[in-house]
Each structure stands twice: as structure tokens, then as C-alpha cells.
Structure 1
């Protein structure tokens, strides 16, 4: 059988909107970024059909803990403001902070980047942020997928998903079961709105008539609103290694009111004191410009607290000292009490 020759009207994948050469160029761009994140356990990373990772031998009874998340509508601001360097950090943070609450050390991370038409520069910027997030979390960027899908996304837009896998010693997994009345609630400061509530953030920005260049206390609004989610992994793992941590809650969608109850057994409640920490200027501005009620603020945003830690009263000062020495801003923000009949499991007073 003779080889079929292309005719003048024959089509290529590029004619259909998929540029294989651009995809190959992106892989070459990100290989050095991924290499910086390598750690003990990586047997095979980017480039193969699957990545191989060996659970570190320091674990006697390792339990794998997994998490997945995206960045949400914060991406719409990344598109319209042409700021793509921080959303990759957000992507990593949302998953590694989630698995951290069970005491897990993040081991490796995979990303999924989907677009209509691949811009190598934009994708490399985003994935550079992912690699930076992995370095901050101490986990390896071990693989991922870039999908160019013409007609699925407008030019200049993309979507992100991330997947983290970590490990915790079975006997040391944190599940909140030891929390009791009298325990102290600590709050670790957030770096901003992180990656939650951005549908409301965008609506408030529109109502205020603000632009990305609007001056906000000496910074461009763009930089304040797009500040990446804080990654708490290394400082909190230090605290876990030295102290008894009874419970952890990552304050994401649902804010303080919906996330803290996730670690409380029935019959317990957390009372948080709003004057125990300073709400950052960004949230004060959002509340004022949007006329947002206090309860709604606490249900939608982290309001300045990105991670909650529950410890025994006798441990509180030592845990605070460890976290502050590791660079965290931490405050006593409340206490655990018996839940009153028909009362919510978390209140801000």
C-alpha cells in the first residue's frame, strides 16, 4: 500500500486549533521549574505516562491523605488584570493546606491546566507559581496535564485544578476527637482573601468603580486582591512535631462559621472573639463598599484568619511561641465550649 500524500486541502491538528509544538515547548520550559521541587521519594517525575513516588521510610504505618481543589473565580481577575504569577501558588495552597489539617506532610502535587489556545508564556508563568507553591510546601511537582481544547475556552482564558497527596503516621492523624471544652482556639493570619469569595469580591470591585491600579494604602489594588494564599505547611508541621495539636481547620469557602464546625464533634462549639485579631484593611474595605453584614463576612471570607488551631489551654503559650518563631502571625481568638441547645457550632461575638 502506498503512503498517502497530503493534498492541498489536507488538515492538520494546528488547523483545528491545537499546537503540538507549543505543548512540547511548554514541557521544556517547566522541566527546570519542576526539578527545583524534587524531594526524597520521587522515582520518576514529569515526562512519563505516570509519576512514581515511594513513601518515605520514616513512616511505620503511613496513611495517605489526598486533596484536590481549584482557584475559583479569582481566575477571572487574573484574566482581566493580566496577572498570572500568583494563581499557581493559590492552587497548591488550597490542597496542601487542606491535607495539613489531618497532620499530613504533603509529598507530591499534580496540576491540570486547560485552555482553548495555549499561550506558552502564560502557562509557564502559571506553572512557575505552582512550582513556587510546591517549594513553599516542601512537596514535589511530580506531574500534570496541559490540555489545549479549542472551542472550550475563550482565547486568553484557562482553568486550573490541583491534586495533593501527603502522608501521616496512622497513630498521629489529627481528627478533632480530643477537642474538649476549655481548649483554646488559635488563629493564623491570612495573606488576604486567599481563593474564596471572589464572586462577591468582583461584584464589590465593580460597585466601587475600582480598577487594578486603584491605590490601596500605598499598593495597587491588583496586588492586594491577587495576593497568593498563604501556605502554612512547614510552620504547622513544626508545631505538630513539638506539641499536642487537637484540631486544625483551613478557613476556605464557608469562612469561619462553616469551616471550624467541621472539626468539632456534636455537643461542642467554638466561640470566637472578633476583637481578638485585627481584620485586614482589604476586608474592611470590602465590607464597607459592599455593605456586607458581619455574619455574611464571616460565612464568605476568612476575615484575616487562614488557619485555626485548637490546643489545650496549658499548651497554648508554647504553641504560639513555636509558630511565631517559624514566622507566623498568631493570636488567641477563642475557646471551645459546650454547645447550647439549637446554637450554632461556631459563633463570632
Structure 2
């Protein structure tokens, strides 16, 4: 009689899944807000909206992953911040419409489930949710032997936020002469890592554990700095100032993302002279011999969020941000013109 096969023989260990759930429960519960109705382990995740808080509630959703930054996580064996990146990539999009993040769900896929590594990933997700004010109310961990190489995984996320219909920020009232204010990023965030890897590991043969003086850290540590999470700051600003439009500077850099908030017939002239370009970008540009326009069309260059406000609002907004030690930068102003941004580098 032939040996009996089990699911584990195919490479899927359901007991590793059970162990993962036990390890992540405390992280998940720390994110719960008053709207959470369900607990971890259900087939669906429940969240109650406070209908007394909104006149015409509109749900705003966003989904994303962290791209090939994951390959840096594999090289460095740093896994407790990559989940924070996944949260940031979603909530930073949602906040651009003025929406308060409500809840987040994650999806983690791997070839062989390592409960401790999965726990580290979810710990990062939970930390990101706490920073965003969102509840981690569900997710999925999929073990798929044969699809991923040993030690590799992927993570993606999904966020839902809420905003009153009359308070939606859509850029429709942006006019010529409005001021563009940039808020600093924490680093590369989670975009452009295919070029990052090309420069440092294929072109220049760096080691992730190599200490780089101008970075003040190892290369791997600099590349793994988690994406900054903006909702707490932006929601505060929205409550005090009229913000006409916002752009999360993700893949496509300045050229692709800033125009996404403009109405037809409006574009902008950008001046980069006051931007505090972070050391990691300077190093990468030099080592890769990358054209400056290529840098600004791929990376955030030290500016993670851009807001459009009237000239009358700009001065007070900048003063307020300075009081909060935010170091805002005026990066340009809007203009009536068809076509793409014009960026001046001095």
C-alpha cells in the first residue's frame, strides 16, 4: 500500500499558519479603534461607521504593495518595517482626498511560512496602522510552495478611509498663482527600487552591510528606512487651513504625481533650489551618473507630500508647520498652461 500523502507533504504547513495567528494577535489588537466590530479569525472583517460624525460619508479606498524594496529586505534580513511601508503606500494615497483612514487589510504570500518572520512583517503593519490611526481588521497569509523562492515573500495592502462629501479634496478649485508646499520625506520611501538596485548592486557592487560615511549608516539601513506616514499631520492641517489639492510623491516622482491634483488647463513651475535633497539621493545620482531630471521623474528627492494652497494661506501654513518642526519648502506655483511641469534646477 502506498504512503498516505498530507497537505504538509506538498509544502503547506497549516500548523505554521496557526502559530502565525497566535504570534500576531497582540500586534493586531493594538490597532483597534472604536469602529472595529469583529475580532481576528473571522471570515469577514466588520467595521461600524459613526453616522453622527458625517453628513454625507464617502468611502475612499487605496491599494498598493512595496515593490522591489522587498529584495532589499531579503538582503538585509530586516522584516519588521516592510509592513509599515505597505500601510504608508495606501494611507498616503487616501489622505490626498482628505479622507481619514479607517481600516487596513494586508495580504502576505510566501513559499514556506516562517511564523516568526510573518510576525515581524505584521508587527510592521500594525505599527503603520497605529501611526495612520487605522485599524488592522483583517488579512491573509498564503503559503504557496513552488511559486516563491526560499525565504522570499510578497506583501500588499488595502485601506479604506472616509470623508464628508463636501470636504473632499479634489483639486478642482486650484487656480493660477496657488503655492505648492512640499513636506519632507523620510527617505526613498517605496518607489524606484529597481533603479536603486541597478545602481548599488549591479553597477557598483555595494554590500548592504557596508557602512557609508555620508549616509551615517550601512547602505542597507538607509535603503530600508520606512515610508513616512502622513495622515495624522495632514488631518490636522485640513482642520485648520484650506488645502486645495495634495499629491503623494510615489513612483513617477514630481513629473507624474504633482499634476494629478491639477484641474485641466493648470500646471506648475517648480524650483528645486530650496529642497533638502537627502544624502541617499545624492549618493545614488553620483554613483549611477543619473541625469537630474531622471532623478526627479523617479524619486521623491526628499519631498514626500505636496500641497496646493492659495498665496494668502501659504504664509500661515508654513509658519504652523515650522512650529511643528516640519521644515516645509515652497517648491513652486501653479500657472495656466497646457502640458507637463517645468522644473528648474539651480
TM over 0.5: yes
- Mapped to 2, the partners of 1:324 and 1:214 lie a distance apart of 35
**Counterparts of 1:214 and 1:330, CA distance in 2:** 32
Bigger drift between 80-89 and 324-333 goes to: 324-333
Supply the distance in 2 between the matched residues of 1:244 and 1:114 (Cα, whole angstroms): 41
Q: Does the Cα contact within 8 Å between 1:235 and 1:327 map onto a contact in 2?
A: no
Name 1:347's counterpart in structure 2.
343
1:321 Cα offset (Å): 3.0
What is the aligned partner in structure 1 of residue 209 from structure 2? 213
- Residue 324 of structure 1: how far off its partner (Å): 3.5
Whole-angstrom CA distance in 2 between matches of 1:295 and 1:345: 11
Give the drift of 1:263: 0.8
Runs of at least 4 residues of structure 1 off by over 4 A?
A: none
Aligned to 1:126: 121
1:20 aligns with 2:33: no
Matched, 1:93 2:88: yes
Which residue number in structure 2 is paired with residue 175 of structure 1?
Answer: 170
8 Å contact 1:235–1:328 — kept in the other structure?
no
Instruction: Give 1:326 deviation, angstroms.
Output: 4.0
RMSD: 1.3
Q: Higher mean Cα deviation, 40-49 or 227-236?
A: 40-49
Match among 113, 117, 140 for residue 112 of structure 2:
117
Matched residues in 1 for 2:218 and 2:247: separation? 31
Report the TM-score, using the length of structure 1 for normalisation: 0.95
Give CA deviations for 1:99-150 in whole Å, capped at 9, x if unaligned: 0000000000000000010011111111100000000000000000000011
For structure 1, which runs of at least 5 residues remain unmatched after alignment?
1-6
Cα distance, 1:345 vs. partner? 3.5
Contact 1:74 1:198 in 2 (8 A): yes
Q: Are the equivalent residues in 2 in contact too, given 1:192–1:304 (CA < 8 A)?
A: yes
1: CA distance, partners of 2:145 / 2:205: 34
SS at match of 2:31: coil
Please state how far the C-alpha of 1:327 moved relative to its aligned partner: 4.6
Q: CA separation of 1:117/1:288 partners in 2, compared to 1, >3 Å: closer, same or farther?
A: same
> Which runs of 5 or more residues in structure 2 are unaligned?
none
Q: Given the alignment of the two structures, is residue 305 of structure 1 paired with residue 303 of structure 2, yes or no? A: yes
SS across alignment from 2:297: helix
Partner of 2:282: 284
3-state secondary structure, aligned to 1:276: coil
SS at match of 1:187: strand
Counterpart Cα distance in 1 of 2:92 and 2:226: 13
What pairs up with 1:245-256 in 2 under 5 angstroms? Answer: 245-256=243-254
Paired residues of 1:46 and 1:144 also in contact (CA < 8 A) = no
1:102 pairs with 2:97? yes
The aligned residue for residue 184 of structure 2 is: 189
Contact 1:117 1:156 in 2 (8 A): yes
In 2, the alpha carbon distance for the partners of 1:145 and 1:327 equals 38
1:158-216 deviations in whole A, cap 9, x for unaligned? 01110000000100000001111111100010111100000000010022221112222
In the alignment of these two chains, the number of paired residues is 341
Q: CA deviation at 1:8?
A: 6.4
Residue pair 1:236, 1:323 contacting (<8 A) in 2 also: no
Contact 1:106 1:137 in 2 (8 A): yes
* 2:46 match: 52
Deviations 1:297-325 (Å, cap 9, x if unpaired)? 11110111100001111111222233344
Which residue does the alignment assign to 1:31? 25
> 2:272·2:343 contact (CA, 8 Å) conserved in 1?
no
| Conserved? CA contact 2:66–2:190, under 8 Å | yes
Question: After the TM superposition, which residues 258-269 of structure 1 pair with which residues of structure 2 at under 5 Å, given as runs?
Answer: 258-269=256-267
Identify the range of structure 1 (208-217 vs 264-273) with the bigger mean alpha-carbon deviation: 208-217
8 A contact 1:273–1:334 mirrored in 2: yes
- Partner Cα distance (2:344, 2:257) in 1: 13
